Amino acid sequence: MKELVGLVEETGWRLLAAYHDPLRATPYRPGMSGFNLVFEAV
């Protein structure tokens, strides 16, 4: 995930949140399956 965030930030976006389950707003925890990232244009 760190590499993906770095690439996206280079294009003018910033990470707002990382969720395991966005419908329940459960936070992402390393080692769990899958993640959903929310970015905002800077």
> Which region, left, alpha or beta, applies to residue 34 given φ > 0 means left and ψ of -120 to 50 means alpha?
left
Structure tokens at 5: 């965030």
Tell which wins on pLDDT, 40 or 1: 40
Find the radius of gyration of the CA atoms of the chain.
11
Domain ranges of the chain: 2-41
Could you tell me the pTM of the whole model? Answer: 0.78
Q: Report residue 1's pLDDT band, with 50, 70 and 90 as the boundaries.
A: confident
Instruction: Tell me the pLDDT tens digit for each residue of 2-41.
Output: 999 999 999 999 999 999 999 999 999 888 778 999 999 9
Query: Backbone phi, then psi, for 14, in 5-degree steps?
Result: -135, 150
